[in-house]
Amino acid sequence: EVQLVESGGGLVQAGGSLRLSCAASGFTFDDYAIGWFRQAPGKEREGVSCILSSDGSTYSADSVKGRFTISSDSAENTVYLQMNSLKPEDTAVYYCAAAWAPTSLSLPGSSCGTPDYWGQGTQVTVSS
C-alpha cells in the first residue's frame, strides 16, 4: 500500500520558518520525484519543490527559490521541506506528492511532473 504521510504544518508569523516532512512507503523511493504541491483558497494547485533522490536533483518554483530548501533521506524514505522567510502568500494546504521520474530534474524544462501518488495535505498559515 502506497502511503505519503505529511507532518510539520502549522501557524507562523511572516518571516518565520517551518519544516515539513513526508514519509513515503509502498513504492521505490529513489525512482520518484517526491516533493510538495500547494493549493491556496480560490487558486489552482501548484508545484512548489521536489527532489529525485537517485541523483539528488531538485526543482523549485521561482516563488520559493532562495527561501525553501528541499532534501531527502533515502535511508528513512523521507523528504523534508525547510521553509524560511515565510510570507502570507505562502498560506495554503501543502500536499506531498510523488511522480515517477525517468530523467533528472536538473534537465532544462523539468518540473515536479504529474504525481502518481498524493498525501492528505497539511495546512500552512502565515500571518502578517
Q: What is the pLDDT along the chain (128 residues), one digit of tens a residue?
A: 999 999 999 999 999 999 999 999 999 999 999 999 999 999 999 999 999 999 999 999 999 999 999 999 999 999 999 999 999 999 999 999 999 988 888 888 888 989 999 999 999 999 99
- 88: which strand partners? none
State the sign of the Cα–Cα–Cα–Cα dihedral 76, 78, 18, 104: positive
63 and 52 in contact (C-beta within 8 Å)?
no
User: Helix (H, G, I), strand (E, B), or coil: what is residue 29?
Assistant: helix
